[in-house]
Chain A
Protein backbone atom coordinates (compact mmCIF):
# COMPACT_ATOMS: atom_id res chain seq x y z
CA UNK A 1 0.00 0.00 0.00
CA UNK A 2 2.86 2.36 0.82
CA UNK A 3 4.38 1.52 -2.57
CA UNK A 4 1.24 2.41 -4.49
CA UNK A 5 0.73 5.61 -2.48
CA UNK A 6 4.30 6.55 -3.29
CA UNK A 7 3.71 5.77 -6.99
CA UNK A 8 0.64 8.00 -6.99
CA UNK A 9 2.42 10.93 -5.39
CA UNK A 10 5.41 10.58 -7.70
CA UNK A 11 3.26 10.31 -10.82
CA UNK A 12 1.29 13.47 -10.12
CA UNK A 13 4.42 15.41 -9.12
CA UNK A 14 6.14 14.36 -12.34
CA UNK A 15 3.02 15.10 -14.38
CA UNK A 16 2.72 18.68 -13.10
CA UNK A 17 6.46 19.28 -13.50
CA UNK A 18 6.50 17.89 -17.02
CA UNK A 19 3.57 19.99 -18.18
CA UNK A 20 5.01 23.21 -16.77
CA UNK A 21 8.46 22.51 -18.22
CA UNK A 22 7.03 21.57 -21.62
CA UNK A 23 5.16 24.88 -21.68
CA UNK A 24 8.46 26.58 -20.82
CA UNK A 25 10.09 24.84 -23.79
CA UNK A 26 7.66 26.29 -26.27
CA UNK A 27 7.00 29.72 -24.75
CA UNK A 28 10.28 31.05 -23.37
CA UNK A 29 12.06 33.62 -25.48
CA UNK A 30 15.53 32.46 -24.47
CA UNK A 31 16.39 29.35 -26.45
CA UNK A 32 19.08 28.16 -24.06
CA UNK A 33 16.53 28.19 -21.27
CA UNK A 34 14.20 26.19 -23.50
CA UNK A 35 16.96 23.61 -24.02
CA UNK A 36 17.45 23.26 -20.26
CA UNK A 37 13.70 22.85 -19.79
CA UNK A 38 13.67 20.21 -22.53
CA UNK A 39 16.42 18.38 -20.67
CA UNK A 40 14.32 18.44 -17.50
CA UNK A 41 11.27 17.12 -19.38
CA UNK A 42 13.32 14.22 -20.73
CA UNK A 43 14.69 13.50 -17.26
CA UNK A 44 11.17 13.39 -15.82
CA UNK A 45 10.17 11.05 -18.66
CA UNK A 46 12.96 8.74 -17.53
CA UNK A 47 11.34 8.86 -14.09
CA UNK A 48 8.02 7.82 -15.63
CA UNK A 49 9.75 4.91 -17.37
CA UNK A 50 10.96 3.73 -13.98
CA UNK A 51 7.40 3.98 -12.63
CA UNK A 52 6.33 1.84 -15.61
CA UNK A 53 8.94 -0.83 -14.78
CA UNK A 54 11.10 -0.03 -17.81
CA UNK A 55 14.43 0.53 -16.07
CA UNK A 56 16.57 -0.25 -19.11
CA UNK A 57 14.63 2.27 -21.18
CA UNK A 58 15.14 4.90 -18.47
CA UNK A 59 18.87 4.34 -18.78
CA UNK A 60 18.73 4.60 -22.57
CA UNK A 61 16.68 7.79 -22.25
CA UNK A 62 19.24 9.43 -19.98
CA UNK A 63 22.25 8.29 -22.02
CA UNK A 64 20.98 8.96 -25.55
CA UNK A 65 18.38 11.69 -25.17
CA UNK A 66 19.92 13.79 -22.43
CA UNK A 67 23.55 12.93 -23.09
CA UNK A 68 23.31 13.06 -26.86
CA UNK A 69 20.37 14.88 -28.34
CA UNK A 70 20.13 17.74 -25.86
CA UNK A 71 23.87 18.34 -26.19
CA UNK A 72 23.46 18.46 -29.99
CA UNK A 73 20.63 20.96 -29.62
CA UNK A 74 22.74 23.13 -27.33
CA UNK A 75 25.53 22.99 -29.93
CA UNK A 76 23.05 24.03 -32.61
CA UNK A 77 21.96 26.99 -30.46
CA UNK A 78 25.56 28.05 -29.85
CA UNK A 79 26.71 27.64 -33.47
CA UNK A 80 23.81 29.67 -34.85
CA UNK A 81 24.12 32.42 -32.23
CA UNK A 82 20.50 31.91 -31.29
CA UNK A 83 21.40 32.34 -27.62
CA UNK A 84 22.45 35.96 -28.16
CA UNK A 85 19.18 37.01 -29.70
CA UNK A 86 15.86 37.01 -27.97
CA UNK A 87 13.32 35.35 -30.18
CA UNK A 88 10.50 37.65 -31.24
CA UNK A 89 7.09 36.94 -29.86
CA UNK A 90 5.01 35.09 -32.42
CA UNK A 91 2.37 37.14 -34.16
CA UNK A 92 -1.15 36.90 -32.81
CA UNK A 93 -2.25 34.92 -35.87
CA UNK A 94 0.47 32.32 -35.38
CA UNK A 95 -0.20 32.12 -31.64
CA UNK A 96 -3.91 31.65 -32.25
CA UNK A 97 -3.31 29.01 -34.91
CA UNK A 98 -0.87 27.12 -32.70
CA UNK A 99 -3.10 27.06 -29.63
CA UNK A 100 -6.24 26.20 -31.60
CA UNK A 101 -4.55 23.28 -33.36
CA UNK A 102 -2.98 22.07 -30.10
CA UNK A 103 -6.24 22.24 -28.18
CA UNK A 104 -8.16 20.57 -31.01
CA UNK A 105 -5.64 17.73 -31.07
CA UNK A 106 -5.90 17.44 -27.27
CA UNK A 107 -9.69 17.30 -27.48
CA UNK A 108 -9.68 14.65 -30.23
CA UNK A 109 -7.11 12.49 -28.43
CA UNK A 110 -8.94 12.75 -25.11
CA UNK A 111 -12.17 11.70 -26.84
CA UNK A 112 -10.31 8.63 -28.09
CA UNK A 113 -8.76 7.89 -24.69
CA UNK A 114 -12.00 8.21 -22.74
CA UNK A 115 -14.14 6.35 -25.25
CA UNK A 116 -15.31 2.97 -23.97
CA UNK A 117 -12.96 0.09 -24.71
CA UNK A 118 -12.67 -3.49 -23.55
CA UNK A 119 -11.72 -3.40 -19.90
CA UNK A 120 -8.51 -4.91 -18.65
CA UNK A 121 -9.65 -7.96 -16.78
CA UNK A 122 -6.37 -9.02 -15.28
CA UNK A 123 -3.59 -6.92 -13.84
CA UNK A 124 -0.50 -7.54 -15.94
CA UNK A 125 2.71 -8.29 -14.17
CA UNK A 126 5.69 -6.40 -15.61
CA UNK A 127 8.18 -8.54 -17.51
CA UNK A 128 11.01 -9.68 -15.29
CA UNK A 129 14.56 -9.22 -16.50
CA UNK A 130 13.62 -6.90 -19.34
CA UNK A 131 17.20 -6.30 -20.55
CA UNK A 132 17.54 -10.00 -21.36
CA UNK A 133 14.13 -10.05 -23.06
CA UNK A 134 14.91 -6.93 -25.14
CA UNK A 135 18.24 -8.38 -26.25
CA UNK A 136 16.63 -11.67 -27.28
CA UNK A 137 13.89 -9.85 -29.19
CA UNK A 138 16.29 -7.56 -31.04
CA UNK A 139 18.36 -10.47 -32.36
CA UNK A 140 15.47 -12.86 -33.01
CA UNK A 141 15.12 -14.01 -36.64
CA UNK A 142 11.60 -15.36 -36.16
CA UNK A 143 8.30 -13.61 -36.98
CA UNK A 144 8.27 -12.05 -33.48
CA UNK A 145 11.81 -10.75 -33.78
CA UNK A 146 13.18 -7.32 -34.66
CA UNK A 147 16.50 -8.14 -36.29
CA UNK A 148 15.76 -6.37 -39.59
CA UNK A 149 14.62 -3.03 -38.06
CA UNK A 150 17.57 -3.28 -35.70
CA UNK A 151 20.00 -3.52 -38.63
CA UNK A 152 18.14 -0.82 -40.57
CA UNK A 153 18.34 1.59 -37.65
CA UNK A 154 22.12 1.20 -37.59
CA UNK A 155 22.20 2.04 -41.31
CA UNK A 156 19.99 5.06 -40.65
CA UNK A 157 22.31 6.30 -37.91
CA UNK A 158 25.35 5.84 -40.16
CA UNK A 159 23.64 7.71 -42.99
CA UNK A 160 22.61 10.50 -40.61
CA UNK A 161 26.16 10.85 -39.28
CA UNK A 162 27.70 10.99 -42.76
CA UNK A 163 24.95 13.28 -44.01
CA UNK A 164 25.47 15.61 -41.06
CA UNK A 165 29.18 15.86 -41.81
CA UNK A 166 28.59 16.47 -45.53
CA UNK A 167 25.93 19.14 -44.99
CA UNK A 168 27.68 21.06 -42.21
CA UNK A 169 31.12 20.82 -43.85
CA UNK A 170 32.93 24.10 -44.04
CA UNK A 171 35.20 23.11 -46.92
CA UNK A 172 33.35 21.80 -49.97
CA UNK A 173 34.71 18.45 -51.00
CA UNK A 174 36.82 18.58 -54.18
CA UNK A 175 35.45 16.61 -57.15
CA UNK A 176 34.15 13.49 -55.44
CA UNK A 177 30.98 14.05 -53.48
CA UNK A 178 31.83 11.90 -50.49
CA UNK A 179 35.57 11.36 -50.29
CA UNK A 180 37.39 14.54 -49.49
CA UNK A 181 40.85 13.52 -48.35
CA UNK A 182 40.02 14.66 -44.83
CA UNK A 183 42.39 17.20 -43.33
CA UNK A 184 45.09 16.97 -45.97
CA UNK A 185 46.95 20.25 -46.47
CA UNK A 186 45.86 20.19 -50.12
CA UNK A 187 42.44 21.33 -49.03
CA UNK A 188 43.62 24.63 -47.63
CA UNK A 189 42.93 26.58 -50.83
CA UNK A 190 39.33 25.47 -50.70
CA UNK A 191 38.67 27.70 -47.71
CA UNK A 192 37.96 30.65 -50.01
CA UNK A 193 34.30 31.39 -50.61
CA UNK A 194 32.87 29.39 -53.45
CA UNK A 195 32.08 32.35 -55.74
CA UNK A 196 35.63 33.62 -55.53
CA UNK A 197 36.92 30.17 -56.30
CA UNK A 198 34.74 29.85 -59.37
CA UNK A 199 35.91 33.20 -60.68
CA UNK A 200 39.52 32.15 -60.32
CA UNK A 201 39.00 28.98 -62.26
CA UNK A 202 37.32 30.80 -65.17
Chain B
Protein backbone atom coordinates (compact mmCIF):
# COMPACT_ATOMS: atom_id res chain seq x y z
CA UNK B 1 0.00 0.00 0.00
CA UNK B 2 2.75 2.42 0.97
CA UNK B 3 4.63 1.48 -2.19
CA UNK B 4 1.66 2.37 -4.36
CA UNK B 5 1.19 5.68 -2.56
CA UNK B 6 4.87 6.47 -2.94
CA UNK B 7 4.74 5.59 -6.60
CA UNK B 8 1.73 7.84 -7.17
CA UNK B 9 3.26 10.65 -5.11
CA UNK B 10 6.39 10.58 -7.24
CA UNK B 11 4.30 11.79 -10.18
CA UNK B 12 3.14 14.91 -8.34
CA UNK B 13 2.39 17.61 -10.95
CA UNK B 14 4.87 20.43 -11.21
CA UNK B 15 4.70 23.64 -13.18
CA UNK B 16 5.19 21.84 -16.52
CA UNK B 17 2.08 19.70 -16.11
CA UNK B 18 -0.07 22.66 -15.12
CA UNK B 19 1.27 24.75 -17.99
CA UNK B 20 0.63 22.00 -20.53
CA UNK B 21 -2.95 21.64 -19.30
CA UNK B 22 -3.54 25.40 -19.58
CA UNK B 23 -2.01 25.41 -23.06
CA UNK B 24 -4.23 22.56 -24.20
CA UNK B 25 -7.35 24.39 -23.00
CA UNK B 26 -6.15 27.59 -24.69
CA UNK B 27 -5.60 25.84 -28.01
CA UNK B 28 -9.00 24.14 -27.82
CA UNK B 29 -10.55 27.55 -27.28
CA UNK B 30 -8.60 28.98 -30.18
CA UNK B 31 -9.74 26.33 -32.64
CA UNK B 32 -13.30 26.77 -31.37
CA UNK B 33 -13.00 30.48 -32.06
CA UNK B 34 -12.18 29.70 -35.68
CA UNK B 35 -14.69 26.90 -36.30
CA UNK B 36 -17.83 28.08 -34.52
CA UNK B 37 -20.50 29.78 -36.63
CA UNK B 38 -22.80 30.95 -33.88
CA UNK B 39 -21.63 34.17 -32.23
CA UNK B 40 -22.45 32.89 -28.72
CA UNK B 41 -20.29 29.84 -29.43
CA UNK B 42 -17.44 32.15 -30.36
CA UNK B 43 -17.93 34.07 -27.10
CA UNK B 44 -17.78 30.79 -25.17
CA UNK B 45 -14.52 29.82 -26.89
CA UNK B 46 -13.07 33.22 -25.98
CA UNK B 47 -14.09 32.59 -22.36
CA UNK B 48 -12.19 29.28 -22.45
CA UNK B 49 -9.07 31.11 -23.64
CA UNK B 50 -9.35 33.83 -21.00
CA UNK B 51 -9.87 31.19 -18.33
CA UNK B 52 -6.73 29.31 -19.28
CA UNK B 53 -4.74 32.57 -19.35
CA UNK B 54 -5.84 33.28 -15.78
CA UNK B 55 -4.89 29.73 -14.82
CA UNK B 56 -1.40 30.29 -16.23
CA UNK B 57 -0.96 33.44 -14.15
CA UNK B 58 -1.84 31.49 -11.01
CA UNK B 59 0.53 28.65 -11.96
CA UNK B 60 3.44 31.05 -12.46
CA UNK B 61 2.56 32.75 -9.21
CA UNK B 62 2.64 29.45 -7.34
CA UNK B 63 5.86 28.07 -8.81
CA UNK B 64 7.94 31.12 -9.68
CA UNK B 65 7.25 34.08 -7.39
CA UNK B 66 6.38 34.12 -3.71
CA UNK B 67 3.74 36.83 -3.86
CA UNK B 68 0.10 37.31 -4.79
CA UNK B 69 0.64 39.34 -7.98
CA UNK B 70 -0.55 36.44 -10.15
CA UNK B 71 -3.75 36.14 -8.13
CA UNK B 72 -4.42 39.84 -8.69
CA UNK B 73 -3.85 39.52 -12.43
CA UNK B 74 -6.25 36.56 -12.47
CA UNK B 75 -8.87 38.69 -10.71
CA UNK B 76 -8.41 41.41 -13.33
CA UNK B 77 -8.78 38.84 -16.12
CA UNK B 78 -12.01 37.59 -14.59
CA UNK B 79 -13.33 41.19 -14.38
CA UNK B 80 -12.42 41.87 -18.02
CA UNK B 81 -14.10 38.61 -19.05
CA UNK B 82 -17.26 39.72 -17.25
CA UNK B 83 -17.23 43.08 -19.06
CA UNK B 84 -16.69 41.31 -22.37
CA UNK B 85 -19.58 38.93 -21.75
CA UNK B 86 -21.92 41.84 -20.92
CA UNK B 87 -21.09 43.79 -24.09
CA UNK B 88 -21.11 40.63 -26.19
CA UNK B 89 -24.55 39.65 -25.00
CA UNK B 90 -25.90 43.16 -25.67
CA UNK B 91 -24.49 43.14 -29.20
CA UNK B 92 -25.93 39.68 -29.95
CA UNK B 93 -29.38 40.66 -28.69
CA UNK B 94 -29.36 43.89 -30.75
CA UNK B 95 -28.07 42.02 -33.80
CA UNK B 96 -30.69 39.31 -33.44
CA UNK B 97 -33.42 41.95 -33.30
CA UNK B 98 -32.33 43.41 -36.64
CA UNK B 99 -31.20 40.32 -38.57
CA UNK B 100 -33.04 37.40 -36.89
CA UNK B 101 -29.77 35.47 -36.84
CA UNK B 102 -26.43 35.60 -35.10
CA UNK B 103 -24.68 33.26 -37.51
CA UNK B 104 -21.44 35.09 -38.22
CA UNK B 105 -21.26 33.80 -41.79
CA UNK B 106 -24.57 35.53 -42.57
CA UNK B 107 -23.60 38.92 -41.22
CA UNK B 108 -21.87 40.63 -44.12
CA UNK B 109 -22.97 44.23 -43.59
CA UNK B 110 -19.50 45.65 -44.04
CA UNK B 111 -18.47 43.43 -46.92
CA UNK B 112 -18.98 45.68 -49.95
Residues of A within 8 A of B (CB): 1-2, 4-5, 7-9, 11-12, 15, 18-19, 22-23, 25-27, 31, 34-35, 38, 41-42, 45, 48-49, 52-54, 56-57, 60-61, 64-65, 68-69, 72-73, 75-77, 79-82, 87-88, 90, 94-95, 97-99, 101-103, 105-106, 109-110, 113-114, 120, 124-127, 130, 133-134, 137-138, 146, 149, 153, 156-157, 159-161, 163-168, 170
Per-residue CB proximity of B20-64 to A under 8 Å, as 1/0?
110111111111111111111101110110010011001101111
Q: Which A residues touch B48, using CB under 8 A?
A: 22, 25-26, 38, 41
Asked whether, in the complex, the Cβ of B40 is within 8 Å of the Cβ of A94, the reply is no
Interface residues of B (CB under 8 A from A): 2, 5-6, 8-9, 11-13, 15-21, 23-41, 43-45, 47-48, 51, 54-55, 58-59, 61-69, 71-72, 74-76, 78-94, 96-97, 102
Q: Which residues of the partner chain A approach B84 to less than 8 Å between Cβ atoms?
A: 160
* Given A38-B44, A73-B44, CB of A57 within 8 Å of CB of B89: no
Q: Are A137 and B16 in contact (CB under 8 A)?
A: no
Instruction: State the majority secondary structure of interface residues on A.
Output: helix
Separation of A87 and B106 alpha carbons in the complex (Å): 13
Residue ID in chain A nearest B4 by CB atoms: A5
Q: Which residues of A contact B31 (CB under 8 A)?
A: 26, 98-99, 101-103
Query: Which one of B54, B55, B96 lies within 8 Å of A79 (CB-CB)?
Result: B96
Interface of B is mostly: helix
Q: Are B90 and A164 in contact (CB under 8 A)?
A: yes
Q: How far is the CB of B76 from chain A (nearest CB, A)?
A: 6
Q: Once bound together, how far apart are the Cα atoms of A47 and B61, in whole Å?
A: 16
Known A-B contacts A8-B12, A54-B58, A167-B94; A160 and B83 likewise in contact (beta carbons under 8 Å): yes
Residue of B18, B61, B88, B92 touching A48 (CB-CB under 8 A): B18
Give the CA-CA distance A69 to B33 in the complex, in Å.
18
List 28 A–B pairs whose Cβ atoms lie within 8 Å, in order of A's numbering: A1-B5, A1-B6, A1-B9, A8-B11, A19-B21, A19-B24, A26-B44, A31-B38, A38-B44, A45-B55, A68-B85, A69-B82, A72-B85, A73-B43, A75-B89, A76-B92, A80-B96, A81-B96, A82-B38, A101-B31, A102-B31, A106-B23, A110-B23, A126-B62, A137-B69, A157-B83, A160-B83, A160-B84
The CA-CA distance from A49 to B27 in the complex, in Å, is: 20
Inter-subunit contact B86/A164 (CB<8 Å)? yes
B93 contacts A113, C-beta separation under 8 Å: no
**B17: contacting residue among A2, A11, A42, CB under 8 A:** A11
A99 to B29, CA, bound (A): 11
Residues of B within 8 A of A160 (CB): 82-84, 86-87
